[in-house]
Structure 1
Protein backbone atom coordinates (compact mmCIF):
# COMPACT_ATOMS: atom_id res chain seq x y z
CA UNK A 1 0.00 0.00 0.00
CA UNK A 2 1.31 3.46 -0.92
CA UNK A 3 2.40 5.54 2.07
CA UNK A 4 1.19 9.10 2.66
CA UNK A 5 4.66 10.41 1.81
CA UNK A 6 4.79 8.51 -1.49
CA UNK A 7 1.29 9.66 -2.41
CA UNK A 8 2.32 13.28 -1.91
CA UNK A 9 5.57 12.73 -3.86
CA UNK A 10 3.61 11.29 -6.79
CA UNK A 11 1.05 14.11 -6.75
CA UNK A 12 3.59 16.94 -6.62
CA UNK A 13 5.84 15.32 -9.23
CA UNK A 14 2.86 14.87 -11.55
CA UNK A 15 1.94 18.55 -11.18
CA UNK A 16 5.54 19.59 -11.87
CA UNK A 17 6.07 17.52 -15.01
CA UNK A 18 2.61 18.41 -16.36
CA UNK A 19 3.26 22.12 -15.88
CA UNK A 20 0.58 22.73 -13.25
CA UNK A 21 3.38 23.81 -10.91
CA UNK A 22 5.78 26.17 -12.67
CA UNK A 23 9.57 26.47 -12.19
CA UNK A 24 10.27 28.87 -9.35
CA UNK A 25 6.82 28.45 -7.78
CA UNK A 26 6.79 28.46 -3.97
CA UNK A 27 5.71 25.18 -2.36
CA UNK A 28 4.01 25.91 0.97
CA UNK A 29 3.71 22.90 3.31
CA UNK A 30 0.46 24.04 4.90
CA UNK A 31 -1.21 24.65 1.53
CA UNK A 32 -0.09 21.29 0.14
CA UNK A 33 -1.26 19.52 3.29
CA UNK A 34 -4.70 21.12 3.01
CA UNK A 35 -5.02 20.24 -0.69
CA UNK A 36 -3.79 16.65 -0.29
CA UNK A 37 -5.63 15.83 2.91
CA UNK A 38 -2.43 14.69 4.63
CA UNK A 39 -0.69 16.19 7.64
CA UNK A 40 2.37 18.41 7.26
CA UNK A 41 4.70 15.56 8.33
CA UNK A 42 4.28 13.46 5.15
CA UNK A 43 4.32 16.66 3.07
CA UNK A 44 7.66 17.70 4.60
CA UNK A 45 9.07 14.21 3.96
CA UNK A 46 7.78 14.27 0.37
CA UNK A 47 9.43 17.62 -0.33
CA UNK A 48 12.73 16.24 1.00
CA UNK A 49 12.46 13.29 -1.41
CA UNK A 50 11.66 15.59 -4.32
CA UNK A 51 14.61 17.81 -3.42
CA UNK A 52 16.90 14.77 -3.54
CA UNK A 53 15.50 13.87 -6.97
CA UNK A 54 16.03 17.42 -8.25
CA UNK A 55 12.37 18.38 -8.67
CA UNK A 56 12.40 21.03 -5.95
CA UNK A 57 15.08 23.22 -4.40
CA UNK A 58 15.46 24.76 -0.96
CA UNK A 59 16.12 28.47 -0.50
CA UNK A 60 17.38 29.42 2.95
CA UNK A 61 14.87 31.33 5.08
CA UNK A 62 12.31 31.11 2.26
CA UNK A 63 11.44 27.45 1.87
CA UNK A 64 10.93 25.00 -1.00
CA UNK A 65 10.44 26.00 -4.64
CA UNK A 66 9.88 24.10 -7.88
CA UNK A 67 13.36 23.68 -9.35
CA UNK A 68 14.33 25.49 -12.51
CA UNK A 69 15.13 23.21 -15.46
CA UNK A 70 18.93 23.05 -15.56
CA UNK A 71 20.05 21.98 -19.03
CA UNK A 72 23.63 21.26 -17.91
CA UNK A 73 22.29 19.05 -15.12
CA UNK A 74 20.13 17.16 -17.60
CA UNK A 75 23.10 16.52 -19.84
CA UNK A 76 25.13 15.17 -16.90
CA UNK A 77 22.28 12.91 -15.80
CA UNK A 78 21.94 11.42 -19.28
CA UNK A 79 25.69 10.94 -19.57
CA UNK A 80 25.78 9.04 -16.27
CA UNK A 81 22.68 7.06 -17.20
CA UNK A 82 24.37 6.01 -20.43
CA UNK A 83 27.44 4.79 -18.58
CA UNK A 84 25.39 2.81 -16.08
CA UNK A 85 23.00 1.34 -18.66
CA UNK A 86 26.05 0.27 -20.67
CA UNK A 87 27.50 -1.44 -17.60
CA UNK A 88 24.17 -3.17 -16.91
CA UNK A 89 24.07 -4.50 -20.49
CA UNK A 90 27.66 -5.70 -20.22
CA UNK A 91 26.95 -7.56 -16.98
CA UNK A 92 23.76 -8.98 -18.49
CA UNK A 93 25.79 -10.39 -21.39
CA UNK A 94 28.07 -12.06 -18.87
CA UNK A 95 25.37 -13.45 -16.57
CA UNK A 96 22.29 -14.08 -18.72
CA UNK A 97 20.65 -17.50 -19.02
CA UNK A 98 19.02 -19.02 -22.08
CA UNK A 99 15.61 -18.65 -20.44
CA UNK A 100 16.20 -14.95 -19.81
CA UNK A 101 17.14 -14.41 -23.45
CA UNK A 102 13.91 -16.05 -24.58
CA UNK A 103 11.95 -13.77 -22.25
CA UNK A 104 13.83 -10.69 -23.50
CA UNK A 105 13.14 -11.68 -27.12
CA UNK A 106 9.43 -11.92 -26.37
CA UNK A 107 9.40 -8.48 -24.73
CA UNK A 108 11.22 -7.06 -27.76
CA UNK A 109 8.64 -8.60 -30.12
CA UNK A 110 5.83 -7.04 -28.11
CA UNK A 111 7.56 -3.69 -28.30
CA UNK A 112 7.88 -3.99 -32.08
CA UNK A 113 4.19 -4.85 -32.41
CA UNK A 114 3.09 -1.94 -30.22
CA UNK A 115 4.90 0.93 -32.00
CA UNK A 116 1.56 2.56 -32.83
CA UNK A 117 0.34 2.27 -29.23
CA UNK A 118 2.44 4.67 -27.17
CA UNK A 119 1.28 3.39 -23.77
CA UNK A 120 1.92 -0.25 -24.68
CA UNK A 121 5.27 0.69 -26.21
CA UNK A 122 6.41 2.53 -23.09
CA UNK A 123 5.30 -0.34 -20.83
CA UNK A 124 7.21 -2.88 -22.95
CA UNK A 125 10.24 -0.60 -23.06
CA UNK A 126 10.31 -0.33 -19.27
CA UNK A 127 9.91 -4.10 -18.93
CA UNK A 128 12.79 -4.65 -21.38
CA UNK A 129 15.16 -2.51 -19.31
CA UNK A 130 14.03 -4.03 -16.01
CA UNK A 131 14.83 -7.46 -17.45
CA UNK A 132 18.34 -6.33 -18.41
CA UNK A 133 18.89 -4.81 -14.98
CA UNK A 134 17.84 -8.10 -13.37
CA UNK A 135 20.30 -9.98 -15.59
CA UNK A 136 23.12 -7.73 -14.38
CA UNK A 137 22.78 -9.42 -10.96
CA UNK A 138 23.65 -6.08 -9.35
CA UNK A 139 20.96 -4.63 -7.05
CA UNK A 140 23.14 -1.57 -6.30
CA UNK A 141 23.59 -0.78 -10.00
CA UNK A 142 19.86 -1.26 -10.56
CA UNK A 143 19.06 1.21 -7.77
CA UNK A 144 21.51 3.78 -9.11
CA UNK A 145 19.90 3.57 -12.56
CA UNK A 146 16.45 3.86 -10.99
CA UNK A 147 17.48 6.99 -9.09
CA UNK A 148 18.86 8.61 -12.26
CA UNK A 149 15.69 7.69 -14.17
CA UNK A 150 13.67 9.56 -11.56
CA UNK A 151 16.01 12.54 -11.75
CA UNK A 152 15.75 12.59 -15.56
CA UNK A 153 11.97 12.37 -15.58
CA UNK A 154 11.40 16.11 -15.58
CA UNK A 155 13.63 16.44 -18.65
CA UNK A 156 11.83 13.60 -20.45
CA UNK A 157 8.42 15.09 -19.68
CA UNK A 158 9.57 18.57 -20.72
CA UNK A 159 10.60 17.18 -24.11
CA UNK A 160 14.24 18.15 -23.66
CA UNK A 161 15.60 15.13 -25.53
CA UNK A 162 16.01 14.09 -29.14
CA UNK A 163 12.57 13.90 -30.72
CA UNK A 164 13.44 10.88 -32.88
CA UNK A 165 14.48 8.84 -29.83
CA UNK A 166 11.23 6.87 -29.67
CA UNK A 167 11.50 5.82 -33.31
CA UNK A 168 15.04 4.57 -32.73
CA UNK A 169 14.15 2.54 -29.65
CA UNK A 170 13.22 -0.64 -31.51
CA UNK A 171 16.53 -0.70 -33.38
CA UNK A 172 18.47 0.10 -30.21
CA UNK A 173 16.81 -2.70 -28.28
CA UNK A 174 17.39 -5.21 -31.06
CA UNK A 175 21.10 -4.36 -30.96
CA UNK A 176 21.22 -4.70 -27.18
CA UNK A 177 19.43 -8.03 -27.39
CA UNK A 178 21.86 -9.27 -30.03
CA UNK A 179 24.95 -8.30 -28.02
CA UNK A 180 23.61 -9.80 -24.79
CA UNK A 181 22.54 -13.00 -26.54
CA UNK A 182 26.02 -13.35 -28.10
CA UNK A 183 27.65 -12.74 -24.68
CA UNK A 184 29.67 -9.89 -26.17
CA UNK A 185 30.19 -7.75 -23.08
CA UNK A 186 31.97 -4.88 -24.80
CA UNK A 187 29.43 -4.50 -27.58
CA UNK A 188 26.62 -4.75 -25.04
CA UNK A 189 28.21 -1.93 -23.05
CA UNK A 190 28.57 0.25 -26.17
CA UNK A 191 25.05 -0.20 -27.54
CA UNK A 192 23.48 0.12 -24.08
CA UNK A 193 25.22 3.43 -23.50
CA UNK A 194 24.54 4.77 -27.01
CA UNK A 195 20.81 4.10 -26.65
CA UNK A 196 20.72 6.59 -23.77
CA UNK A 197 23.15 9.11 -25.28
CA UNK A 198 20.85 9.42 -28.30
CA UNK A 199 18.17 10.83 -26.04
CA UNK A 200 20.06 14.05 -25.29
CA UNK A 201 20.87 16.36 -28.22
CA UNK A 202 24.56 16.35 -29.07
CA UNK A 203 25.59 13.87 -26.38
CA UNK A 204 26.01 10.90 -28.72
CA UNK A 205 28.24 12.90 -31.07
CA UNK A 206 30.33 14.09 -28.12
CA UNK A 207 30.81 10.56 -26.80
CA UNK A 208 31.43 9.26 -30.34
CA UNK A 209 34.35 11.68 -30.70
CA UNK A 210 36.09 10.04 -27.74
CA UNK A 211 35.67 6.46 -29.01
CA UNK A 212 38.40 4.65 -30.94
CA UNK A 213 37.67 3.68 -34.59
CA UNK A 214 37.47 0.03 -33.47
CA UNK A 215 34.15 0.79 -31.82
CA UNK A 216 32.48 1.75 -35.11
CA UNK A 217 34.03 -1.23 -36.85
CA UNK A 218 32.61 -3.51 -34.15
CA UNK A 219 29.15 -1.96 -34.48
CA UNK A 220 29.28 -2.32 -38.25
CA UNK A 221 30.23 -5.96 -37.88
CA UNK A 222 27.37 -6.52 -35.45
CA UNK A 223 24.90 -5.01 -37.90
CA UNK A 224 26.09 -7.39 -40.62
CA UNK A 225 25.77 -10.37 -38.28
CA UNK A 226 22.23 -9.34 -37.31
CA UNK A 227 21.25 -9.12 -40.98
CA UNK A 228 22.66 -12.55 -41.72
CA UNK A 229 20.90 -14.01 -38.69
CA UNK A 230 17.56 -12.74 -39.95
Structure 2
Protein backbone atom coordinates (compact mmCIF):
# COMPACT_ATOMS: atom_id res chain seq x y z
CA UNK A 1 0.00 0.00 0.00
CA UNK A 2 1.35 3.44 -0.90
CA UNK A 3 1.19 5.90 1.98
CA UNK A 4 2.30 9.52 1.61
CA UNK A 5 3.46 11.09 4.87
CA UNK A 6 3.24 14.90 4.81
CA UNK A 7 5.93 16.12 7.19
CA UNK A 8 7.59 12.77 6.66
CA UNK A 9 11.14 13.99 7.35
CA UNK A 10 10.35 15.32 10.85
CA UNK A 11 10.40 13.66 14.28
CA UNK A 12 7.13 11.69 14.02
CA UNK A 13 6.99 11.49 10.23
CA UNK A 14 10.39 9.85 9.83
CA UNK A 15 9.54 7.25 12.50
CA UNK A 16 6.18 6.55 10.83
CA UNK A 17 7.81 6.14 7.40
CA UNK A 18 10.27 3.64 8.90
CA UNK A 19 7.56 1.64 10.72
CA UNK A 20 5.33 1.44 7.64
CA UNK A 21 8.31 0.37 5.54
CA UNK A 22 9.13 -2.41 8.02
CA UNK A 23 5.60 -3.75 7.49
CA UNK A 24 5.97 -3.86 3.71
CA UNK A 25 4.18 -0.64 2.78
CA UNK A 26 5.50 1.93 0.30
CA UNK A 27 5.85 4.90 2.63
CA UNK A 28 6.83 8.13 0.90
CA UNK A 29 8.09 11.09 2.98
CA UNK A 30 6.80 14.40 1.62
CA UNK A 31 8.09 17.77 2.82
CA UNK A 32 9.55 20.97 1.35
CA UNK A 33 13.01 19.35 1.44
CA UNK A 34 11.71 16.51 -0.76
CA UNK A 35 10.07 18.91 -3.23
CA UNK A 36 6.53 18.82 -1.79
CA UNK A 37 4.97 22.00 -0.40
CA UNK A 38 1.39 21.89 0.88
CA UNK A 39 1.21 25.70 1.12
CA UNK A 40 1.92 26.23 -2.59
CA UNK A 41 0.76 22.86 -3.90
CA UNK A 42 4.20 22.18 -5.39
CA UNK A 43 4.76 18.45 -5.94
CA UNK A 44 1.46 17.37 -4.39
CA UNK A 45 -0.17 15.94 -7.53
CA UNK A 46 2.93 13.92 -8.34
CA UNK A 47 3.55 12.47 -4.87
CA UNK A 48 -0.12 11.57 -4.28
CA UNK A 49 -0.47 9.63 -7.54
CA UNK A 50 -1.41 6.03 -6.70
CA UNK A 51 -1.54 6.66 -2.92
CA UNK A 52 -4.11 4.80 -0.82
CA UNK A 53 -3.56 6.91 2.31
CA UNK A 54 -2.18 10.36 3.09
CA UNK A 55 -0.99 11.09 6.63
CA UNK A 56 -0.48 14.70 7.68
CA UNK A 57 1.96 15.17 10.55
CA UNK A 58 3.23 18.55 9.33
CA UNK A 59 3.45 21.56 11.62
CA UNK A 60 3.56 25.30 11.18
CA UNK A 61 6.99 26.97 11.21
CA UNK A 62 5.43 29.81 13.25
CA UNK A 63 3.13 29.41 16.26
CA UNK A 64 2.03 33.07 16.19
CA UNK A 65 -1.77 33.33 15.91
CA UNK A 66 -2.20 34.55 12.33
CA UNK A 67 0.61 32.58 10.64
CA UNK A 68 -0.34 29.29 12.31
CA UNK A 69 -3.99 29.67 11.30
CA UNK A 70 -2.94 30.52 7.74
CA UNK A 71 -0.65 27.48 7.64
CA UNK A 72 -3.20 24.91 8.75
CA UNK A 73 -6.07 26.37 6.70
CA UNK A 74 -4.06 26.63 3.49
CA UNK A 75 -2.09 23.40 3.74
CA UNK A 76 -5.13 21.32 4.76
CA UNK A 77 -7.33 22.82 2.03
CA UNK A 78 -4.67 22.08 -0.60
CA UNK A 79 -4.03 18.58 0.70
CA UNK A 80 -7.74 17.69 0.71
CA UNK A 81 -8.20 19.09 -2.79
CA UNK A 82 -5.21 17.29 -4.31
CA UNK A 83 -6.04 14.05 -2.44
CA UNK A 84 -9.58 14.07 -3.84
CA UNK A 85 -8.26 14.52 -7.38
CA UNK A 86 -5.80 11.64 -6.86
CA UNK A 87 -8.50 9.36 -5.44
CA UNK A 88 -6.77 8.89 -2.07
CA UNK A 89 -9.09 6.77 0.07
CA UNK A 90 -8.07 7.73 3.62
CA UNK A 91 -6.94 11.07 5.09
CA UNK A 92 -5.15 10.73 8.45
CA UNK A 93 -4.13 13.77 10.50
CA UNK A 94 -2.17 14.03 13.73
CA UNK A 95 -3.64 16.44 16.27
CA UNK A 96 -3.56 16.93 20.04
CA UNK A 97 -5.50 15.52 22.99
CA UNK A 98 -7.47 18.40 24.53
CA UNK A 99 -7.50 20.59 21.40
CA UNK A 100 -11.17 21.46 22.01
CA UNK A 101 -10.31 22.42 25.63
CA UNK A 102 -7.36 24.68 24.69
CA UNK A 103 -9.13 27.22 22.50
CA UNK A 104 -7.67 30.26 24.30
CA UNK A 105 -4.49 29.40 22.36
CA UNK A 106 -4.10 30.55 18.74
CA UNK A 107 -2.20 27.34 17.95
CA UNK A 108 -5.02 25.12 19.15
CA UNK A 109 -7.64 27.27 17.41
CA UNK A 110 -5.68 26.58 14.21
CA UNK A 111 -5.62 22.83 14.95
CA UNK A 112 -9.38 22.93 15.53
CA UNK A 113 -9.81 24.68 12.17
CA UNK A 114 -7.70 21.97 10.52
CA UNK A 115 -9.89 19.25 12.04
CA UNK A 116 -13.08 21.02 10.95
CA UNK A 117 -11.86 21.25 7.34
CA UNK A 118 -11.15 17.51 7.35
CA UNK A 119 -14.50 16.59 8.93
CA UNK A 120 -16.46 18.74 6.49
CA UNK A 121 -14.55 17.62 3.38
CA UNK A 122 -16.65 14.53 2.76
CA UNK A 123 -13.44 12.47 2.50
CA UNK A 124 -12.94 9.27 4.58
CA UNK A 125 -10.71 10.34 7.46
CA UNK A 126 -9.18 9.57 10.84
CA UNK A 127 -7.97 12.24 13.26
CA UNK A 128 -5.45 10.97 15.80
CA UNK A 129 -5.29 12.96 19.03
CA UNK A 130 -1.95 12.32 20.78
CA UNK A 131 -0.81 13.51 24.18
CA UNK A 132 2.39 15.54 24.59
CA UNK A 133 5.68 13.85 23.64
CA UNK A 134 8.52 13.11 26.08
CA UNK A 135 10.80 14.75 23.52
CA UNK A 136 9.22 18.16 24.26
CA UNK A 137 9.65 18.23 28.06
CA UNK A 138 12.61 20.64 27.77
CA UNK A 139 10.58 22.88 25.43
CA UNK A 140 7.79 23.02 28.02
CA UNK A 141 10.36 24.05 30.64
CA UNK A 142 11.80 26.69 28.31
CA UNK A 143 8.49 28.43 27.53
CA UNK A 144 7.46 28.19 31.21
CA UNK A 145 10.63 29.78 32.62
CA UNK A 146 10.13 33.14 34.35
CA UNK A 147 13.12 34.84 36.02
CA UNK A 148 15.10 31.63 35.88
CA UNK A 149 12.43 29.44 37.47
CA UNK A 150 10.06 27.05 35.70
CA UNK A 151 6.49 27.79 36.77
CA UNK A 152 3.93 25.06 36.04
CA UNK A 153 0.63 23.82 37.46
CA UNK A 154 0.10 20.30 38.80
CA UNK A 155 -2.56 19.53 36.16
CA UNK A 156 -2.39 15.96 34.93
CA UNK A 157 -0.57 14.98 31.73
CA UNK A 158 -0.16 11.53 30.14
CA UNK A 159 2.84 11.98 27.83
CA UNK A 160 4.23 9.46 25.38
CA UNK A 161 7.37 8.62 23.45
CA UNK A 162 7.57 9.66 19.80
CA UNK A 163 8.08 5.97 18.93
CA UNK A 164 4.70 5.16 20.51
CA UNK A 165 3.10 8.11 18.68
CA UNK A 166 4.36 6.70 15.37
CA UNK A 167 3.18 3.19 16.29
CA UNK A 168 -0.30 4.45 17.18
CA UNK A 169 -0.48 6.49 13.98
CA UNK A 170 0.67 3.49 11.99
CA UNK A 171 -2.16 1.31 13.31
CA UNK A 172 -4.72 3.92 12.29
CA UNK A 173 -3.05 4.46 8.92
CA UNK A 174 -3.34 0.82 7.83
CA UNK A 175 -6.85 0.40 9.28
CA UNK A 176 -10.25 1.49 8.04
CA UNK A 177 -11.08 5.23 8.33
CA UNK A 178 -12.73 5.90 11.71
CA UNK A 179 -14.42 9.10 10.43
CA UNK A 180 -13.84 10.53 13.87
CA UNK A 181 -11.13 10.90 16.52
CA UNK A 182 -8.85 8.18 17.92
CA UNK A 183 -6.98 9.13 21.10
CA UNK A 184 -3.52 7.81 21.95
CA UNK A 185 -1.50 8.47 25.09
CA UNK A 186 1.32 7.28 27.31
CA UNK A 187 1.15 4.52 29.91
CA UNK A 188 1.43 6.83 32.96
CA UNK A 189 -0.02 10.07 34.28
CA UNK A 190 2.06 12.76 35.98
CA UNK A 191 1.48 16.21 37.35
CA UNK A 192 2.83 18.59 34.68
CA UNK A 193 5.17 20.14 37.26
CA UNK A 194 6.36 16.68 38.37
CA UNK A 195 7.02 15.53 34.79
CA UNK A 196 9.20 18.54 33.97
CA UNK A 197 10.98 18.32 37.33
CA UNK A 198 11.92 14.68 36.59
CA UNK A 199 12.95 15.50 33.02
CA UNK A 200 15.20 18.40 33.98
CA UNK A 201 16.82 16.45 36.82
CA UNK A 202 17.62 13.58 34.45
CA UNK A 203 19.31 16.03 32.06
CA UNK A 204 21.26 17.74 34.84
CA UNK A 205 19.35 20.98 34.23
CA UNK A 206 19.58 23.01 37.47
CA UNK A 207 16.41 25.05 36.97
CA UNK A 208 13.95 24.93 39.85
CA UNK A 209 10.39 23.89 38.99
CA UNK A 210 7.88 25.88 41.05
CA UNK A 211 4.34 24.52 41.36
CA UNK A 212 2.03 27.41 40.44
CA UNK A 213 -1.61 26.52 39.78
CA UNK A 214 -2.15 29.89 38.04
CA UNK A 215 0.75 29.41 35.61
CA UNK A 216 -0.39 29.05 31.98
CA UNK A 217 0.56 26.23 29.61
CA UNK A 218 0.98 27.51 26.05
CA UNK A 219 -0.94 30.57 27.20
CA UNK A 220 -3.86 28.54 28.58
CA UNK A 221 -4.97 27.99 32.19
CA UNK A 222 -5.38 24.25 32.72
CA UNK A 223 -7.93 22.33 34.71
CA UNK A 224 -6.84 19.02 36.22
CA UNK A 225 -7.77 16.88 33.18
CA UNK A 226 -7.36 19.28 30.23
CA UNK A 227 -4.39 17.36 28.82
CA UNK A 228 -5.37 13.74 29.50
CA UNK A 229 -7.20 11.41 27.12
CA UNK A 230 -10.47 9.62 27.75
CA UNK A 231 -10.88 6.01 28.93
CA UNK A 232 -10.92 4.60 25.37
CA UNK A 233 -7.46 5.90 24.45
CA UNK A 234 -4.92 3.44 23.07
CA UNK A 235 -1.88 3.58 25.35
CA UNK A 236 1.76 3.24 24.42
CA UNK A 237 4.22 0.98 26.23
CA UNK A 238 7.31 3.13 26.75
CA UNK A 239 7.48 4.64 30.26
CA UNK A 240 9.19 7.96 30.97
CA UNK A 241 11.90 6.19 33.01
CA UNK A 242 12.63 3.79 30.14
CA UNK A 243 12.70 6.67 27.64
CA UNK A 244 15.08 8.70 29.83
CA UNK A 245 17.38 5.69 30.14
CA UNK A 246 17.55 5.42 26.33
CA UNK A 247 18.62 9.04 25.85
Give the TM-score of the pair, scaled to structure 1. Answer: 0.27
Give 1 or 2: higher strand fraction.
2
**Which of structures 1 and 2 has the larger relative contact order (alpha carbons within 8 angstroms, sep 6+)?**
1
Larger Rg: 1
Give 1 or 2: higher helix fraction.
1
Give the TM-score of the pair, scaled to structure 2. Answer: 0.26
